[in-house]
Structure formats: structure tokens, C-alpha cells
A and B are shown apart, each in its own frame.
Chain A
Amino acid sequence: MVARTVLHDADITRALRRIAHEVLESRRGDGRLVFLGIPTRGATLAARIQRIVDEIEPGVSSAGALDITLYRDDLAHTPTRTPAPTRVPEGGIDDTIVVLVDDVLYSGRTIRAALDALVDHGRPRAVRLAVLVDRGHRELPIRADFVGKNLPSATSERVSVRLTEIDGIDEVTIEP
């Protein structure tokens, strides 16, 4: 059973640049952009995308992290998890355009939890979703606005995202 690399470091960088451009294009008007990543790797990706956006258009965006552990719908059925810190940029999210960022979009349940968590922090003007990999198999009516790569997969396959800041390497692999 060998893992196949589907995205190398250059592919990931290119995908994030494209997402950054697409987010800016879709911004319309003067809305402040807040990239909120879902820990752990979503938060890293959010920071990276925000840095690219800030190079292209300085001062219109900020980045943070939104932990969803306490909002999961499977809390009562799994071992207790330790939450990760939530960091909401100064100024809050009221009236901003929030871009939720995650590494892999799969069942959609994580994003459902993130939407619930978001409501407790304020009322954004709009909420968008950016993911590095969309592997399909949705269990809820949720779709991403910005996708790095669509990766058709079988439910039995395992998709792993590794990022330099955490894992020492940038790659996306799929293994049977």
C-alpha cells in the first residue's frame, strides 16, 4: 500500500495563489476580509492565503483560527478531544467577509460546526469557504466557493495534507 502524492509543494503554492486571487476578485465593495482557518492545518493555510492577499492588496485582510471542537456533532460518541485555541483578529468579524479555510472538504460536518461557532463570535456580512482539497462524499448540503484541487476519491482511501510549518514538507497524498 503506497501513498501517491497528488499535490507537490509547487502545486500547493500555485493553488493558494489562485485562491487568493479568486477571493479578492469576488470581494466586491469595501468589505474587510477575515480568513479563519480551522485548526490545525486550516489555520496554517489561512495564514498563508492571507499573506498572499496582503501582498496583492495590503491592509484589507486579516487571519485567525476558529476551533470547532466544542461544536462537533459527534462529541458524545468519540473520546474527548482537547480544543485548539481560537484566534479572532482584532476588530472582530461583524460586517466582514469571513473566508473559512480548511485543508480537506469531505463530509461537510466540520464546516457545519464552523458555521455554528461563527455565529457565537458575531455577524459577518458574508461567509465563504476555501479548501485546499475537495474529495467529495458530502453528507450535508455544503459546497466550497474556492477549491485548490478536486480530488475524486473512494471513502476507503485516505487523503493526507502535510504542511511545512507542521510536518516539515508541503504535500497532499492519497493512499488506498
Chain B
Amino acid sequence: MKHLLSTRDLNRESAIQILDVAEDMAQTADREVRKLPPLRGKTVVNLFFEDSTRTRLSFESAAKRLSADVITFSAKGSSVSKGESLKDTAQTLAAMGADAIVVRHHDSGAAHQLAHAGWIDAAIINAGDGTHEHPTQALLDAFTIRSRRFGAASRGRDLTGMRVVIVGDIVHSRVARSNVWLLTTLGAEVHLVAPRTLLPHGVEQWPVSVHEHLDDALALAPDAVMMLRIQSERMRDAFFPTAREYARVWGLTAERFALLGADTMVMHPGPMNRGLEISSAAADSERSTVLAQVTNGVSIRMAVLYLLVAGSSTTDAGGSER
């Protein structure tokens, strides 16, 4: 594996390998010195064509903890806003000697194009492309579910038998797509809940069950409920009547939260719209993994950067070798 573009490219072994390496990376948080040396002398470029604070900071701190040099390049105020193409930007970065490029782009497939167009030889990590995929978010979600459930005994395990409900704006959500592929690869059972207007075409062919009503899915006693953000910046049409109606029918209200099982975790990729898709009662409870997801995000991104960048460029970081 040279790039991380989609969780579809990961088989069970390579996904578990990333989660296990992330366990090792998470351990360094308790040490006296939190820095590790494997990416010394390597350059990681954060190439962000779309605003993002969390993901960018998370990748930045992951790369720094591995001792890489980090260059952050955001489209605003850069040559991109003067009309430079993705190709020219990539070639500029290649000329600067980037070893890895973390890319977020508003167009689906941008990361794939960077990886395969032959413009640059660096490892490409997809940090969100349009409505397509956001693989490191799905990996950190899987890591969070696994470590909540199995604690110190997490290593080497998959998510067989776990039931995960993903609720909300599925059609615009790259987080949902990446999670569907990864969680099912890891053996979990995935349920989607959304108004019909927010379900993508062809969802019947996904390896999931679809529900129109949140209460039906919650009655299945899921291990985790993942609430997606209503992305108002992508809402160009009327997908549901009003925000109040959405909150009432598809939001994790305090009433619904009270009915959940005691060990059901509540997840959200952030940033949250409190009172819309998630109530404060749910977001601030002990069962909420929102902050753990942020912490785990750094560990997962350290693992991905290590596996893709540390070895020689001809390397195969696939799961089987040791």
C-alpha cells in the first residue's frame, strides 16, 4: 500500500494492522517524551483546498510527533486562489521534495487523481474528497469503537458482531461512506438511518440495512450510534422541511438518548450542531466518545503516516508481513 485513498482498498488484515499500530502510537501519549523519530528528515505536506481545522490540526500534530517536517498549504490566500491547477500545485510540491501529501479537496476523486496521474511520487493520504471518502475518520471511528469495547485487549481484534447505526445526511457524507466500507470489512453490522432525500442513489447495493425512522434502528440495541453533521454548506436544495422537524424525527434528542442501552456509545465526527442532530444530554454524557475520537484521530494518523512514509518507497505496507 503506497497511498490511503479509500477504505475500500483496505482488507481486514491491513485495517487491523493500522488499528494495532495506532494502539502503539496512543501509548506514547503517557510517556515523558511524546515524540518518536521514525519520520526524521521526511516532509509531510498538508494540502487543504477546503476549510478544516480539526483534521488539519490532527494531521499536523501526528506528523510532528513522528518528527516529520510539516508544511501546511491552504488554498485560501495561495496561488490556488489565483487559478493554479491541481497539477501545477502537485508538481510544485514534488519539486520541493514532499514525501507525503495529505489532501483535502472539494471534488470527489481529487486524491485519486493526485496519486495516479503521475505528477508526483509522494504517498497520498486522502483527508476528505468531496462527498466521496474520508478514510482516516472511519479508521479512528473503528479504533474508538474497538477500544471502548475491548480496552487493553483490543489488539488483533476486528468488530465482528458489533452493530453500528449511522444517522443523518448520508448522501453528502464522506464519513458515512468510508465507515460503511471499513466497518463491514471489519465484520460489523451497519444500519443507516436518514430521510429518503438524504440517502444516495444505489444505497440498496451497499452492504447495509436502511431505516427511515431512527426509533426502529435504536430498537435494535446498537453498540454504537454515529450521528452525522447536517452540512448546511452542502445543502443547496430543500432536503427536509425545517431544522426543528429534522431534530424531532432524526435527531438524538434527550428522550431518545435516555432510552438507549447503558453501553451504547454515542459518536459524532464533529463539529456538532447541538440541538439539531444531537442533544447536549447525549453529547456531554459519559457514553459520548466525541473527545476520545479527537484524541484517537491523532494516533490513527500517526499510524497511517508511519506505515506509508517511514519505509523505503518500494515498500509494501500490506497486512501480512511482519
Contacts and interface: CB of A to CB of B under 8 A. Distances in A.
B114 interface: no
Given A79-B321, A83-B21, A86-B27, A120 B35 contact: yes
A79 B315 contact: yes
A41 to B, nearest CB: 14
A120 B31 CA distance: 7
Contacts of B311: 75-76, 78-81
Contacts of A122: 32
Nearest to A72: B38
Contact of A116 (B37, B155, B321): B37
Contacts of B312: 76-79
Contact of B33 (A81, A84, A119): A119
B36 interface: yes
By secondary structure, the A interface counts as loop
Contact of A71 (B24, B37, B41): B37
A77 to B, nearest CB: 5
B306 A80 contact: yes
Given A85-B155, A120-B31, A80 B37 contact: no
Interface in A111-150: 116, 119-122
Contacts of B107: none
A80 B317 contact: yes
A82 interface: yes
Contact size range, A:
20 to 34
B169 interface: no
Nearest to A113: B37
B310 A85 contact: no
Contacts of B308: 80
Contacts of A77: 312
Contacts of B307: 80
Interface in B3-21: 17, 20-21
A116 B35 CA distance: 12
Contact of A70 (B17, B20, B36, B41): B36
Contact of A85 (B24, B37, B316, B322): B24
Given A70-B38, A76-B312, A77-B312, A82 B32 contact: no
Interface of B: 17, 20-21, 23-24, 27, 31-33, 35-38, 41, 155, 306-308, 310-312, 315-317, 321-322
Interface of A: 67, 70-71, 75-86, 92, 116, 119-122
12 contacts: A67-B24, A70-B38, A70-B310, A71-B36, A71-B37, A76-B312, A79-B311, A79-B315, A80-B315, A85-B155, A121-B31, A122-B32
10 pairs of A and B residues whose beta carbons are closest in the complex: A80-B311, A120-B33, A79-B315, A83-B24, A70-B38, A80-B317, A70-B36, A75-B310, A79-B311, A80-B315
